[in-house]
């Protein structure tokens, strides 16, 4: 429930088109909905502007479907489940045929109409390598479903830095930049030194043994000599997409 829905509920009661019992029934679910295995935070949209997002890994197909249906029933905005499998998609789609799935981003989603996108305030997502794209795709789709214009430049890492310099114009015109990199994670520092806009760095678990499944990239990004670089957790493309969206919405 967002502010507009809450206002409509109160106006409906005031006008007499909504009974006291009907209003109470809706408001009882506003703080959260108790499903025993989950406490669904329906008020999150009211507080943060977007419904609660499901982390599908570790949940059963039945649990995910039940939560997905509950969120879709209480909100008019897009509903998302991250770290979703193709098998989960098939299961949810059988009950909700309008559901979509991005196999690269591993996001299951129900896309709803949203306010017009501000094309002048764009989020740019860069990757150091092609292997980093799945994490980047999670950030891209998250930001788009939250109502942002998003551009991408993939495989522009420092091993061939001329590839990055070919996209200087996109870097200069972006309002927020997400940099996704594994290996040594150096791309975040390079991009941070090229722009005055906020840079969100996402280390990935891509790399050989001494990368320690992304720890090397994480530490390199945390130690970036470029000012204005914020760092997400390893492989957390979703978190980067959310933060980029919040920054982009600020006026």
pLDDT in tens, 87-144: 999 999 999 999 999 999 999 999 988 777 888 889 999 999 999 999 999 999 999 9
Residues 64, 181 within the same domain: no
Residue 189 inside a domain? The answer is: yes
- Position 27 in a domain: no
95 in the same domain as 157? no
Domain annotation covers residue 69: yes
Question: Distance (Å, rounded) from C-alpha 188 to C-alpha 116?
Answer: 30
φ/ψ (deg, to 5) at 225: -85, -10
First to last CA, the chain: 24
Tell me how far apart the alpha carbons of residues 135 and 137 are, in angstroms, rounded to a whole number: 5
Of 90, 131, 123, 134, nearest to 108 by C-alpha is 90
Instruction: Read off φ and ψ for residue 111, nearest 5 degrees.
Output: -90, 125
Question: Which CATH number covers residue 190?
Answer: 3.40.50.1970
Classify residue 30: in a domain, yes or no.
no
Q: Tell me, yes or no, whether 132 and 220 share the same domain.
A: yes
Q: Are residues 129 and 80 in the same domain?
A: no
The answer on 235 and 162 residing in a single domain is yes
Range of the domain at 60: 49-110
How many domains is the chain built from? 2
Does residue 36 lie within any of the structural domains?
A: no
pLDDT in tens, 165-221: 999 999 999 999 999 999 999 999 999 999 999 999 999 999 999 999 999 999 999
């Amino acid at each position: 429930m967002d502010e507009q829905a809450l206002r409509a509920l109160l106006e409906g009661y005031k006008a007499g088109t909504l009974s006291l019992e009907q209003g109470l029934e809706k408001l009882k679910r506003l703080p959260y909905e108790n499903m025993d295995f989950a406490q669904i935070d329906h008020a999150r949209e009211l507080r943060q502007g977007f419904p609660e997002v499901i982390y599908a890994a570790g949940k059963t197909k039945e649990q995910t479907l039940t939560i997905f249906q509950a969120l879709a029933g209480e909100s008019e905005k897009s509903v998302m489940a991250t770290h979703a499998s193709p098998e989960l998609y098939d299961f949810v789609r059988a009950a909700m045929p309008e559901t979509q799935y991005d196999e690269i981003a591993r996001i299951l989603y129900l896309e709803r109409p949203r306010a017009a996108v501000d094309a002048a305030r764009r989020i740019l997502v860069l990757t150091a390598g092609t292997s980093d794209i799945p994490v980047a795709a999670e950030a891209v789709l998250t930001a788009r479903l939250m109502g942002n214009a998003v551009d991408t430049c993939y495989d522009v890492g420092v091993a061939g830095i001329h590839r990055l310099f070919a996209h200087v114009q996109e870097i200069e015109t972006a309002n927020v930049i997400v940099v996704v990199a594994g290996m040594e994670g150096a791309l975040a520092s390079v991009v941070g030194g090229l722009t005055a806009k906020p840079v969100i760095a996402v280390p990935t678990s891509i790399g050989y043994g001494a990368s320690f499944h992304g720890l090397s990239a994480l530490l390199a990004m945390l130690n970036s000599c470029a000012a204005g670089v914020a760092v997400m957790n390893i492989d957390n493309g979703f978190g980067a997409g959310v933060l980029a969206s919040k920054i982009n919405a600020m006026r």
